[in-house]
Structure 1
Amino acid sequence: MTSKKYSLAEFFCGCGGTSRGFTRSGRFNVALGNDVKSEALRTFEFNHANDDVPPSTIREDIRLLDVDTIHSVLADRGVRKGDLDVMIGGPPCQGFSQLRRNEHRKQGKIVKFSGYSKLADDPRNDLVLRFLEVAEALRPKFLVIENVPQMLNHGFQGRLGKLSELVIQMLEKDLGYTVEVAVVNCADYGVPQLRERAIFIASSVGAVSMPPKTHGNPTDQRLMSSGLKPWVTVKDAISDLPPPPLGKDSLGGGPKDLYGEVPSDFARSMRTSARFPHNHLTRSYKQQVLNIIKEMRPGQTWDTESKRMRAKYERAISKKARAEAMSHEKARTRLEAEGLINPAFYRDYYWSAYSRLAWDAPALTITANANFLGSGRFSHPEEMRGITMREAARLQSFDDDFRFVTSMTDSNNTTRIGVGMDMIGEAVPPTLSEAIAKHLASQLDAHYSSTKTTA
């Protein structure tokens, strides 16, 4: 088997979920990581510190990042101009930032694409456009764009989907790439999470395709008979982790016997650390939040659970009204005052708000808001708490040797849950990126082999 390793530059790298998968494949060296978030970039650096050649990092808005600087940094890591194998990133297209294109950009050394003026009309497309400009300058053999599925339907100039059409047009017409686009479910690649992502893969060295699926819905007998493995469940992912301490990362660095017994194949593959991992701690929650999640059954929606609780309350209200000869309204008020009715269940929330994970299914999408239980299905299946950073990381397929550094300056700071969840929720699941990495490596093998043959 070939031992050749290929080069990767990652923009919008965050904490490094994509690059973790690429290095885990054993086929890539990460040369560069670029992002604007300090703690995320610190985490990226920490977890790549022991690479064969640790990557350079640049904390700078990509729109202000000079291409000559990128070339220089890559050269320092042994990647000469024109030699980059893979460039990857997920440029937001929702107009998150208010920074406008500046004179430095306008006077830059980038060729203007045929679709440039169309995208340039709307400042919300700055990040997408700049990412393509950098790709034009670096000319990687493969370009991978990862984003939310909604990117494919993103409205532009009054028509849904036109943004992605322009991106494909520029990749094919202006840059000469062959492009494949698909919405993939991360669960189909062994990630214990029903997370859908839009993936663009562009190749300048031949045909392009998506990596083959490895897993499928276990209820689909056709998929199971085809040889796919069943989706990885929440139980597979986190049931071997012990109850977490409150507020302190006191288990981190402890002995491996802190793990539970009989791990699943997935959990066993995640146990890459010589010690028990960091970031497994919980926080205190307001009593009103605990009063809600104690009533929630695993895997159920807010709509289902609130309807069930209201029916239960209505029976109690009717019983009290009859027994004490009072009105329905007064009986409800009395039961609320006595703490026997939780008025929260009469409110309308997002369908997955305050809901519990189900042991026997993959998680729903883990987001940057996973620290807030009202934002989605982020509560433990049984315990009176939300998931920890480590549990969220497992559900994102980060192996246990990956440490989330929650301070810009201190690599031992692993306790700021909000900061950690932000990194985890915004990351590309490493197991998905590992599948992409292995797929691209095989295509690069073929490319370089044919180049040698014809030389």
Structure 2
Amino acid sequence: MTACERTPVIRALDLFCGVGGLTHGLALSGIEVTAGIDIDPACRYPYEANNKAKFIEEDVNELSASGVAAMIGGADFSMIAGCAPCQPFSTYSRTGRSNKRGGDWQLVKKFGRLVREAQPDLVTMENVPQLLEHPVFDEFLGCLDGYSVEWSVVQAVRIGIPQTRKRLVLIASRLGAAGLTLPQDAQELKTVREAIGGLRPIKAGESDPRDRLHTSSRLSKTNLDRIRHSQPGGTWRDWPDELQVTCHKRSTGSTYPSVYGRMSWDDASPTITTQCFGYGNGRFGHPEQDRAISLREAAILQTFPLDYAFVRPDEPVRFSVLGRMIGNAVPVRLGEIVGQTVLAHASQYLRSTDLGGTTD
């Protein structure tokens, strides 16, 4: 391989890393993630068990620019990546991590501060689309002075994720502007059937003995009757009157048709949330089995590999903890697409440098 064909080495740090969805995707694309930072100790095992990066339990407020620079130095290019949770819009605000932080927008602001002070070659941020409507986004852009910046709202189904999830994705580079746009090719829809159709059937409250994460929450007799009357893609209006919930019949409940709903085999799933294991929390009923989706099914719909380990062998499976970690994760496939885009972008400038030229 000649110098101009060499793949660039990009060394990255993942802020607010959670269980490692973004890290795993970036690593699959060929980016070297050295460490993930998060203040949730429950994320340490899944992060380190599935990735070659180190988990650092630390508040981003305590990170120094020099420390960050040291973790991502020594490669062709340096990178800071992360999903800075927005408390007004994100389920992160209702988890144990948020009570250690103050202020609605401090996480995004601290992300911007570290970028401004550490000056990595590359930056990527994934977030909720509503961030575009708030002045804090303009503040974040102000921290990217000297960078070429591209952002877009990505529909997950357009990049091979079996989920109707919309996310804001930003990529910034000090190298130049070429090739920063994230591809959103209209791919063939990846369906719920393709994602989870091959898993072992289980009943409500049952676990697969070969995979403890493939476990489904229990259902009351009333909810078991309800799901038996639910049609894939249908609503609670399909139920007999005696099973319908009074509050849903009121005009104020008419805007929540998907609660207690089943997914459809041949469509994408709804957005996987931190409460996706609960049948009454959205359209989280299995397409044909009388239960809510399992934790493993939720993780697969977030494009985690089937064998991604979320809990130690000697620890209990806790729905609230694991649901939070899975629902808050960046889909692995999204991280991989971002990584591929960044690598292709950086390759153009590496070739230019190796050849002694410049690239516009």
Q: Please classify the TM superposition score into its range, dividing by the shorter chain length.
A: 0.7 to 0.9
Residues 68, 3 of structure 1: alpha-carbon distance in 2 compared, 3 angstrom cutoff: closer
| Residues 250-286 of structure 1: per-residue CA shift (max 9 Å, x gap) | 113xxxxxxxxxxxxxxxxxxxxxxxxx511223222
Q: Please identify, of 361-370 and 394-403, the stretch whose mean Cα deviation from structure 2 is larger.
A: 394-403
Q: Report what 1:283 is aligned to.
A: 217
Answer whether contact 1:84 1:138 (CA < 8 A) is retained. Answer: no
Q: Does residue 342 in structure 1 map to residue 243 in structure 2?
A: yes
Match of 1:364 among 270, 273, 288: 270
Q: Report what 1:400 is aligned to.
A: 306
Q: Does residue 171 in structure 1 map to residue 162 in structure 2?
A: no
In the alignment, the residues of structure 2 paired with residue 430 and residue 59 of structure 1 have an alpha-carbon distance, to the nearest angstrom, of 21
| Residues 87-113 of structure 1: per-residue CA shift (max 9 Å, x gap) | 111112336446577xxxxxxxxxxxx
Alignment of 1:252-291 (within 5 A): 252=211, 279-291=213-225
The 3-state SS of whatever aligns with 2:37 is: strand
Alignment of 1:218-237 (within 5 A): 229-237=187-195
In the alignment, the residues of structure 1 paired with residue 170 and residue 192 of structure 2 have an alpha-carbon distance, to the nearest angstrom, of 28
Alpha-carbon deviation of 1:448? Answer: 1.4
Answer whether contact 2:115 2:144 (CA < 8 A) is retained. Answer: no
The number of aligned residues is 338
Answer whether contact 2:23 2:33 (CA < 8 A) is retained. Answer: yes
Residues 249, 64 of structure 1: alpha-carbon distance in 2 compared, 3 angstrom cutoff: farther
Answer whether contact 1:357 1:379 (CA < 8 A) is retained. Answer: yes
Q: Report what 2:319 is aligned to.
A: 417
Answer whether contact 1:249 1:414 (CA < 8 A) is retained. Answer: no
In the alignment, the residues of structure 2 paired with residue 170 and residue 136 of structure 1 have an alpha-carbon distance, to the nearest angstrom, of 5
Larger radius of gyration: 1
Residues 100, 10 of structure 1: alpha-carbon distance in 2 compared, 3 angstrom cutoff: closer
Alpha-carbon deviation of 1:83? Answer: 6.3
Match of 2:81 among 60, 75, 88: 88
In the alignment, the residues of structure 2 paired with residue 250 and residue 28 of structure 1 have an alpha-carbon distance, to the nearest angstrom, of 35
Q: Report what 2:49 is aligned to.
A: 46
Alpha-carbon deviation of 1:370? Answer: 0.6
Q: Does residue 139 in structure 1 map to residue 139 in structure 2?
A: no
In the alignment, the residues of structure 1 paired with residue 214 and residue 6 of structure 2 have an alpha-carbon distance, to the nearest angstrom, of 38
Answer whether contact 2:263 2:286 (CA < 8 A) is retained. Answer: yes
Q: Report what 1:195 is aligned to.
A: 165
Alpha-carbon deviation of 1:248? Answer: 4.3
Amino acid across the alignment from 2:210: L
Q: Does residue 391 in structure 1 map to residue 297 in structure 2?
A: yes
Answer whether contact 1:371 1:421 (CA < 8 A) is retained. Answer: yes
| Residues 308-352 of structure 1: per-residue CA shift (max 9 Å, x gap) | 44xx64xxxxxxxxxxxxxxxxxxxxxxxxxxx224266354332
TM-score, normalization by structure 1: 0.69
Q: Does residue 32 in structure 1 map to residue 12 in structure 2?
A: no
Alignment of 1:15-30 (within 5 A): 15-25=19-29, 27-30=30-33
Amino acid across the alignment from 2:147: Y
In the alignment, the residues of structure 2 paired with residue 239 and residue 204 of structure 1 have an alpha-carbon distance, to the nearest angstrom, of 44
In the alignment, the residues of structure 1 paired with residue 69 and residue 142 of structure 2 have an alpha-carbon distance, to the nearest angstrom, of 26
Alpha-carbon deviation of 1:2? Answer: 4.2
Taking only aligned residues, the RMSD between alpha carbons, in angstroms, comes to: 2.4
Gaps of 5+ in 2: none
Answer whether contact 1:20 1:430 (CA < 8 A) is retained. Answer: yes
In the alignment, the residues of structure 2 paired with residue 353 and residue 94 of structure 1 have an alpha-carbon distance, to the nearest angstrom, of 23
Match of 2:210 among 251, 263, 271: 251
Alpha-carbon deviation of 1:81? Answer: 7.2
Q: Report what 1:186 is aligned to.
A: 156
TM-score, normalization by structure 2: 0.86
Alpha-carbon deviation of 1:5? Answer: 3.7
Residues 47, 414 of structure 1: alpha-carbon distance in 2 compared, 3 angstrom cutoff: farther
The 3-state SS of whatever aligns with 1:46 is: helix
Percentage identity across aligned positions?
Answer: 31
Answer whether contact 2:8 2:346 (CA < 8 A) is retained. Answer: no
The 3-state SS of whatever aligns with 1:371 is: coil
Alpha-carbon deviation of 1:429? Answer: 0.9
Q: Report what 1:298 is aligned to.
A: 232
In the alignment, the residues of structure 1 paired with residue 23 and residue 61 of structure 2 have an alpha-carbon distance, to the nearest angstrom, of 22
Answer whether contact 2:232 2:287 (CA < 8 A) is retained. Answer: yes
Q: Does residue 153 in structure 1 map to residue 133 in structure 2?
A: yes
Alpha-carbon deviation of 1:55? Answer: 1.9
| Residues 59-93 of structure 1: per-residue CA shift (max 9 Å, x gap) | 11111233444345x1xxxx437965221111123
Higher relative contact order (CA 8 A, sep 6+): 2
